[in-house]
Chain A
């Protein structure tokens, strides 16, 4: 009995982290149709930046914000200099972002060496919280809360603000949006930066759990892909639900069918692709 409760709560906390990771990917892919395979690198870069910032005396949350901003700036440069020229060329975008991820990995290795670096859990969130008579790591519970807050904030941004309306217009009909005076190209840069920021921020937030090491990027990217495919691209609700679904699949799958850990994780994705290619909450394929 206890085992199931523990697994359920763990599923929710992992889901929170996965949402932070995949929201940015979903945003970029859903709105700009760019399959950004450098997303895992953005995640790792954020975490590495944070280790350097913390070593220079930043506190954890400041490092998370600034680390995210640095990644956002990097994302902006990538979008402006490279991806913008490849609009609509999906294969080229895949190859460029994949190549970029290798380059980022090498540079990280050069700057931060191959040694794993740990990020301390922020003060105040250390230790365990008692829940249903069982102890759970406080920090992980906090991540789920952050994920929900982020989901609400992103939804409000896209659905309730003028910027959000402009982004949606730019996505639905770029040429018409231009006619009515929306600068679509600048909007896309903003979206890409926001997506990169989310990935970088998630990297820092995940740091205390995962620690930072070469290869982290390639470990996280597939999880983001599964979430987005399950949930449906371009749908924040889809990302949120997809994250928690993957969280549950991961935890219960690994515990119940350890031999089939990856089958349990990827088979539902395959089924969704076959039965409902746009994902559980995705919009109809265009």
Chain B
């Protein structure tokens, strides 16, 4: 149980991301990341040496080599030495680690970044290596096939149907028309079946990208940003790995994380959901009790750009950027990891009253 509520005010004060693309053969991961790091620092006027704590998220399996994150650190410029850490997870969890570091009072500012290139290898096959290595991974069930199981379970339960899924896809991708960073912009046909009942339009594009945010505490946040996106709560929860023991039509971990993050205390006006498949938006909307009055994925979400390891952090960044711009007063950001929404993170962000 929590001993006492966290009591230090911490905010997202800047966000930057790449233009996400189907391939980036000409760029190394570090080259892809560098402009984003410069951009996010420029937004606050901070330099690397001004940052108290740095945390990143990435995956060796996407990079195809061990210790891939060490090269990115060289790009950050860790001299003189910096206080730094890394999670082998989506950058949203790196943000969580940085948030706890700021809560301890040991740091007032943090740089969080993440990146992933899905283009070099067959990403559907690569993701099978996340599964139980003895009983499941040897069968190579790919990520789209697993999502299709979840989709079929939802349809069988009467929670959705194919026209409703097509509408989810259309809405997200039309929203992406206004997002210069999105990989797929504007209306996109729902397409042929990829793995029944999922069509290409129900699935995320495969792409490369990077993102970065800066966190700051208290008055430091007010100095660095005209309207900081205060993190009112953030929590993440995992579920069992075996799909056979889970109700795929529900996301209890998302609901619990949202509850612990305080999402249900007052309504949100915006939600950025990390739902790479249309069906997963249906599951998440229910778990998060999002009504039709909530603007969901104004960025186009993961259906418009899904750079693995960065897509979750981008949801937090997009939600924060809307608060920075004054387009939102209270926003929810969600990130997921693992097959069929196994692990979920929810953050609630607020701007000060205007």
The answer to whether A and B come from one shared complex is no
